[in-house]
Each structure stands twice: as C-alpha cells, then as structure tokens.
Structure 1
Amino acid sequence: MALSFSQVDVFSAEPLRGNPVAVVHGADDLTDEQMQAFARWTNLSETTFLLRPTTADADYRLRIFTPGGELPFAGHPTLGSAHAWLEAGGTVGGDRPDPARLVQECGAGLIELRRSAGRLAFAAPPLTESAPLTDAEHAATAHALGVDPSAILAARRLSNGPRFVAVRLATAEEVLALDPHLPEVAALAPTGLGAIGAQPAGGPDADTAIEVRVFCPGIGVPEDPITGSFNAAAAQWLTADGILPPSYVAAQGTALDRRGRVHVTTEDDAIWVGGETTTTIRGTVEL
C-alpha cells in the first residue's frame, strides 16, 4: 500500500536542528501492527498517522507511536502533523469561523491549534496528574540523574497524556552536565524524566529562559531532542508557581547538537506551546 509521507522538522528555525516527526497521510486502512512496525523502523522519537476524524468537532485524527508503543498525546508530533496536514491541503471544517484555528482528535481528546506569528501552537491539555515526589522517589530520581538530592530544587510527577517526572535544577549548566543512569530512569518515569535549569543572563542562549532535557528510555528514546508535551506540562507547573513568567522561550536539544526553541504563551487562561515547523522530506511510503 503506497501512502503519502512527510517528515517535518519541529521547534527550530534552523534546518535540521529541530526534532523530526514522520507523518503518514491517509492511514485509515493501516492496522495497529503496521503502524507500530513503521514507527519502530523509522527509529524517530515519534511517527504519526493522519486519519479521518470520528467527530465533526475535529479536522483530522492523529495516532502517535514511539518505537516502543503508542502515546495518547505528544507535542512535537502534534505541531509537525498539523503542518503536514495543512501543507497537503487540509482545511478547517465544521462551522468554526477562524481559519487560523484547527482541532486535532487524538487519544487525549480534542487538541486546539492555532497559527500565529508564523508558528503553529497547541493549547496545552489539562494536567491529569501534578503531584510532588515522595522522599524515596526524590532520592531515587537524584540517583538516576547522578546528582546529589540537594541539587533538585523541586520535583513533580506530571501527566497530560504522557507521564513525566519533572525536576528543577538551579542552572542550565547543571542540566547540560547530566549523565543519567537510563535503566533507573526507565523504572522511575514511564514516559520520560525531564530536567529544567535557568539560563544565565547574558549567556549564549540569553534569548531563552530555561534549558530543558528529557530522557525517555522507557519508550525506546534515550534522550528526546525537543519535547512539546513535557514543556507544556512544565509550563503549567512553573508558571502557576511563579517560577517562570506567563510567556517565555525554552531551549532544548543543546546536548544533541540541536537548537530547539519552544515558545510558551499564556493567553485567555490557556497556555499555548509553539514553534517553527519545516517539511524536510516529501514522498510516498510502502506499508
């Protein structure tokens, strides 16, 4: 079966410096096994499949697979797949009057997206879990990251479909120096363990407020280049606690020679997570 295929670079304005997502168009007749096999073969952090929606409230339906399994929601696949759907001629359906807004149906429900300032952005889905770690979990997380427990200023379990452990360190330098024990990370965090550190004023990445790294060995990805879902969850936590302002830019991927920029904006009581999207491969795939 020959299907249209796109590969989209997400969260970077520089070619090949973002996080790629493989997108298969018109995938309604594929089986779960075919989708998982292709995701395993691409070996990208996520591969997505565009399908017809099951509700008139959505413009398209999306299924998202990692090499190790399916996710109900993920951020960079949402942006990259929306980009691919629009580029292939997708138009906003229903009676929604704003052509800059579209709605994705996925395992986490309906996700609203918008086009603004030359970028796509998604409305962060609500957190289904936000809880501090126990003392034992805090110690185990520090050990998995290879840091002293006192280096972790705060830590929480956060879920918005994917389930993360998020930790806050003092500086971007500490985040970039991490050398985690991946088997321990996989045991602690089903989807991923993310670390956040403040950027120094006047440093080389002074356009950003924080440096982020996310380790995902539990789903077959040792380190994710740029993680929209984690940044969405972290933004809801840290803006609510006053650690970060309502709008900021996060850097991610530095340790992997990427230059990810995640733009977080708070408007009308919603947190929007966006970034640049660029198609790098167009063609067909035999499945």
Structure 2
Amino acid sequence: MRTARAFACTTLTLTDLAEKPVWGYAGRTLSGAVTSPQGTSWLRVVSERPDKAHGKLWDGPKTAQELLPPAIPRPALHQVHDWQAVGWAYRAELYQHTDAAVISRSPVLEHDPDLPEAWWTELRAALDSLAQASTERIAVREEYIRRAVPEHTGCDVGEIQWATAHGDFHWSNLGGPDLTILDWEGWGSAPVAFDAAQLYLYSLHTPATAAHVRQTFAHVLGTPAARVAELTVCAQVLQAADRTPFYRELAGPVKEYLDATYERTR
C-alpha cells in the first residue's frame, strides 16, 4: 500500500505531505494529505483483488460525487485513477482537503463531543436531503434483513419502508466542528431512518449524546418505519460481536436496548 501510494503521487503529480498516513479497516485503504494543482488535497488509495474491484463499495465514492446533492457536506472528489500491480487492483481518489477532525477514532462513541447546535441542525438537513435522493444502489439488502433480524434479535421484520442512506453512518465518518460526512463507499437504499438509528445505537455508551441524537432525529426515529432500521442495526452489531472489537463493546448496550424497547417473538 505504501508503494501504491507513492506510485499514485508520482502518476498524479502530487507531493506527499503525510508523515503518518491513515490506515483504513484491515489495511484496505491508506489516506493522507498531499499537495496538488488544486492546493492541499487528500489522497485515498484503495486496494482490492482484481475480481472484486467493481460494484457498490468500489464505485461508491465516485457515484456519490456524481449523483448526490452538492448541499450534503462532504469533501469533493476531484480525480480517480485506477491501475493494477502484483495481483492487486488499486484506485487513487483525490479529494478536496478539509480541516474538519473526525469526531471519534472508533465508530462507537466513548466521550460526549462538544459540537455546536448548528452542527446538529446541519446533520439533520443533510440526512433529510440524502433520504430523498434517487438511486438504484443498495446499502442494506432485504434478504439480509429478513434473515438476520429474526436470527439475532428474535423479532419479526414486517413491512419495510425504504429511503436513501449513507449506510455506514457512525462517529468516525463524521467531522466537526464544521459538519463533514466521510466515506461514501456503501451508500444506497436502506430502511427508513437507518443512518439515524445507527448513529443512535453507536452512541449508547454516552447517554447525553444518544439523547441528543434521538431528539435531532425524532421526526424519523419516532415513526413506526424506524423499527426495521433499529432492528437491522442491532442485528449487524450482534452478528459481528464475536469478531469485531467495537461491536463487542456495543453488544451489551444493544441487548439492553432491545429488551427495553422491543417484544421478542422467538
């Protein structure tokens, strides 16, 4: 990945500014600041086996730049460059640089962030705008929901209402104090209120922030349609708790929330 990043800098005429570039999950991505013809920018290099270098995750950032409303606050994607080497496919994505800092290094929030009320207002407006965007992309598949929710939560699914979602809406993909939404790989259709439900459940370690999330998104989380979204996020957490540390941390609070909120049918 370091060699791939150096190759991308040479090919795109960039100067690498990152002394300690940021690794993504399982070393799949490597990101950091660079200088470019646009000034200071952000270079993200993605790796994948060639037979998997296509589809939803691979093309998510590119299609988000092309199709989503510009009012949704996110770094603009300036350039994409693909190549293959030594049995791997690589994609270099050159983004607008942002001064926003991620709210949490872990997807699960451990400390209440000090965010201005305007940040919360803009967050609600961004998700409302995103929910109305038209797409054929799928963030969460119905087949998965109808299998995983009963298996891991003991609840029936029922009717599903759909909206467009970010799909990975947690605290390490949000920046502040000026709102910035990062990592658009997995966006697409999901149950109504999916992003709000994910942010709420990933805040359970911090009751004050969880309550703020609940208040900000009461217009969607307070509707019957949000039930499927909450149960789906709970199922995702519980399914992966034995292999992913931050899910393991969240499993206990999620089980408590399930017991307090939903009647199990099995």
- Normalising by structure 1, what TM-score? 0.27
Rg larger in structure: 2
- Normalising by structure 2, what TM-score? 0.28
Q: Name the structure with the higher strand share.
A: 1
Which gives a bigger RCO, structure 1 or 2 (Cα 8 Å, sep 6+)? 1
